[in-house]
Amino acid sequence: MSTPASPLRWPAEALWAAVVPEWPGFSIEVLPEIDSTNTELMRRSRNGVNDPILLIAERQTAGRGRSGRTWHGEVGQALTFSLGLPYQPQSWSGLSLAVGLSLAESLGPEIQLKWPNDLWRQHRKLGGILIEAASQGGKSYAVIGIGLNIQMPPTQDLRTPATAIAEFWQEATAPTVLERIIQPLLKALKGFETQGFAPLQQRFNARDALRGLNVQSSDALEGLCEGVDSQGALQLLTRHGRQTIHSSEVSVRPL
Ligand code: BTN
């Protein structure tokens, strides 16, 4: 069975030429369909392939979100990709926040961040990040998966109201959004590898969608959200004093 030609035009060669001086051996691959770009790069890593790559899928059949959730996105409705990078940060703490911050800064001043790794606009979810890591022979490999809504899906999961980039950037397509975000993102990843999250703390807190709100965490903490610390951990002022949430497996919701 033949696959219909994609309506999307990816600027793969221009991106590759811009990126390869900083990341020797970098490659860019666009697939019409795959189960999940994260799953694929983790599979390749298990098979010993740990090269720097940007893997884009026009459609994922089993896209994954945080905490075992699924991530849906049909062709043209979402930008879905994973970066696979040999990566040796001193600490991984705050990496997903650094990624979210870079995306938000590329997309515009009104984009906010919901700890630990959602992008929000006007209290609705615009995108999410799923980071996984593999390790072989003392070397680590990061798989940084990003899903951004480009067009609103016809049906919505009402537990998490969604929004899309086309609501504020009408001509946006998955390729044009990728072109806008990818270089700043790779630069941010280089910066994080050497400096960690601390230099980004203030910029994250300036975009923190939860700051100043009363929130409840999935592990039953309630309190006033006071932003993140220099490691990217969420600080809550609770009835029992200040509590810090480190685990990105914990989710928080405004009350
Ligand atoms: C979340 O919001 O829970 C994270 C969503 C991450 C989705 C992206 S889409 C590209 C990459 N491949 C996946 O299977 N997931 C990530």
Q: Domains plus CATH for the chain?
A: 12-205 (3.30.930.10), 210-252 (2.30.30.100)
pLDDT at 104: 98
pLDDT at 219: 82
This model's pTM is above 0.75: yes
Q: Among residues 215, 214, 236, 238, which one has the least CA distance to residue 227?
A: 236
Name every residue whose Cβ is closer than 8 Å to that of residue 185 and which is 6 or more positions away in sequence. 83, 99, 102, 103, 106
Q: Which of 56, 80, 163 to mutate to test the pocket of ligand 1 (most atoms within 8 A of CB)?
A: 80
Q: Which atom of ligand 1 is nearest to the CA of 65?
A: 3
Q: Return the exposure string of 135-162: e unless at least 16 CB atoms fall within 10 Å of the residue's CB, then b.
A: eeeeebbbbbbbbbbbbeeeeeeeeeeb
64 in contact with ligand 1, CB cutoff 6 A: yes
pLDDT at 74: 79
Q: Which of 38, 113, 124 to mutate to test the pocket of ligand 1 (most atoms within 8 A of CB)?
A: 38
Q: Which atom of ligand 1 is nearest to the CA of 35?
A: 14
pLDDT at 221: 87
pLDDT at 155: 62
Per-residue pLDDT of the chain (255 residues; tens, 9 = 90+): 344 567 789 988 988 988 888 888 999 999 999 999 999 999 999 999 999 999 999 999 999 998 888 887 778 899 999 999 999 999 999 999 999 999 999 999 999 999 999 999 999 999 999 999 999 888 999 999 999 999 987 665 556 789 999 999 999 999 999 999 999 999 999 999 999 999 999 999 999 999 999 999 888 889 999 999 999 999 999 999 999 998 777 788 888
pLDDT at 1: 39
